[in-house]
Amino acid sequence: MRKQFLFIFLALIVANTSQAQTRTTRIGYIDMEYILENVSDYKEATAQLELKAQKWKQEIEAKKLDINTLKESLKAEKALLTKELIDERETEIKFLEDEMLDYQQKQFGANGNLIHQKAALAKPIQDQVFTAVQDIAEAKNYDFIFDKSSDLTMLFSNKKFDISDQVIRVLNRTDKREQLTKKQLKDQEAKESKENAIDENPAMADRQKALDEKKAAREKLIEDRRLEQEAKKKEYDDRRKAILAEREAKKNGTVSEPAKTTEAGKTSETGTDATAKPAATGETPPAEPAVNKAEERQKLYEQRKKELEERRKKILEEREAAKKAKEAETQKSNTTNN
């Protein structure tokens, strides 16, 4: 059957080439297993089926345990039983074993419930995949699209001809469209048009990736500047509050505890009244706690700024390395193709 299919496939390619020599034959392929693994509805249903299969396995193990218990009991009492009772028990055990094997075959056999239910779960998704493949083939003028996970043996397949991700996007779009408003639907269509253009032109995908990286770096720089401005503003507000508090203390004739301690020390040395000095000279006692806090905030700000700068440099270096690796891989792929 496979040889006949390959013969028909080659004949179609030859016929298509002879009829349209001026147009390049477009061939693509999908991986049905990969698509099913990335469809949320199928994954959820598969998880529920797996729970059911675990329940079947537990029932089979329970039947095996009961049978083993009967065998052990018969073995222990065999010397005390008559031949008729022994035959009766052995017949019962044989019946239970056959029943257990039939149940196991029914659930896990080649035509068992597990296989049938898996096929039933996959059938609706496969129908959607086939519809999506037909739409993609018509929209992008594909001549042949194969399923990599089918009976067809593909000894080699170039990744650039794999349209599985395109099919997954089509399936996801169908699910999302039912929940979108008109404006969201318009935005979604614009996004789909952009994705289709990228699919058609791999070079555009590389350019888009570079643009996205530049945009991310620019947004990161803007965020760093915003944080820096907020830190400066906070520092300014703290200093302003400290100055206002100092003026208010001077106006009310009160001083902070550190200032009182300092003036008390000076009084003990000079023998003069500490409270009279501010009135005589018109000087304001220094607000040491406010200054110390400002210095601590400045240090924290400088440390934070340094960490952000180092993090930004590291991200840029990683992106540059990834970009170079991508370019090297692309160049290697082009060399291999040539």
Is 275 part of a structural domain of the chain? no
pLDDT (0 to 100) of residue 25: 80
pTM to 2 decimal places: 0.43
Is 91 part of a structural domain of the chain? yes
Tens-level pLDDT at each residue, the chain (338 residues): 555 555 566 566 655 555 545 567 888 888 888 888 888 878 888 888 999 999 999 999 999 999 999 999 999 998 888 889 999 999 999 999 999 999 999 999 988 999 999 888 888 888 888 888 888 888 888 888 888 877 667 777 788 888 888 888 888 776 655 555 556 556 655 665 666 555 555 566 667 677 788 888 888 889 888 888 888 888 888 888 888 888 888 777 765 444 444 444 544 444 444 444 444 444 444 545 555 677 777 788 888 888 888 888 888 888 888 888 888 887 777 777 66
pLDDT (0 to 100) of residue 184: 58
226, 299: one domain: yes
187-209 residues labelled b (16+ CB within 10 A) or e (exposed) = eeeeeeeebeebbeeeeeeeeee
195, 233: one domain: no
Is 14 part of a structural domain of the chain? no
Is 276 part of a structural domain of the chain? no
Is 336 part of a structural domain of the chain? no
223, 107: one domain: no
191, 310: one domain: no
59, 185: one domain: yes
State the SS3 of the chain: CHHHHHHHHHHHHHHHHHHCCCCCCCEEEECHHHHHHCCHHHHHHHHHHHHHHHHHHHHHHHHHHHHHHHHHHHHHHHHHCCHHHHHHHHHHHHHHHHHHHHHHHHHHCCCCHHHHHHHHHHHHHHHHHHHHHHHHHHHHCCCEEEECCCCCCCCCCCHHHECHHHHHHHHHHHHHHCCCCHHHHHHHHHHHHHHHHHHHCHHHHHHHHHHHHHHHHHHHHHHHHHHHHHHHHHHHHHHHHHHHHHHHHHHHCCCCHHHHHHHHHHHHHHCCCCCHHHHHHCCCCCCHHHHHHHHHHHHHHHHHHHHHHHHHHHHHHHHHHHHHHHHHHHHHHHHHHC
170, 51: one domain: yes
State how far the alpha carbon of 89 is from the alpha carbons of 63, 93, 94, 101, 116, in Å: 16, 6, 9, 18, 36
Q: Which two tokens stand for residue 266?
A: 């000076």
* Residue 333: closest CA among 202, 174, 171: 202
pLDDT (0 to 100) of residue 210: 77
Is 105 part of a structural domain of the chain? yes
- How far is Cα 174 from Cα 151, in angstroms, rounded to an integer? 29
- How far is Cα 284 from Cα 300, in angstroms, rounded to an integer? 28
- How far is Cα 163 from Cα 136, in angstroms, rounded to an integer? 9
pLDDT (0 to 100) of residue 101: 94
210, 311: one domain: yes
Picking from 200, 220, 244, the residue at the C-terminal end of a domain is 200
30, 177: one domain: yes
State how far the alpha carbon of 77 is from the alpha carbons of 85, 86, 93, 123, 161, in Å: 10, 9, 15, 54, 70
- How far is Cα 184 from Cα 192, in angstroms, rounded to an integer? 12
Boundaries of domain holding 217: 205-266+288-330
Is 169 part of a structural domain of the chain? yes
140, 236: one domain: no
181, 123: one domain: yes
pLDDT (0 to 100) of residue 67: 93
pLDDT (0 to 100) of residue 8: 62
Domain count of the fold of the chain = 2
Residues with Cβ within 8 Å of 199's Cβ and at least 6 positions away in sequence, in order, are 140, 163, 166, 205
pLDDT (0 to 100) of residue 248: 81
227, 315: one domain: yes
Picking from 200, 234, 249, the residue at the C-terminal end of a domain is 200
Picking from 183, 200, 217, the residue at the C-terminal end of a domain is 200
Is 282 part of a structural domain of the chain? no
Q: Answer for the pair 137, 131: CB distance below 8 angstroms, yes or no.
A: no
Task: Give the bridge partners for 162, in sequence order.
Answer: 29
146, 227: one domain: no
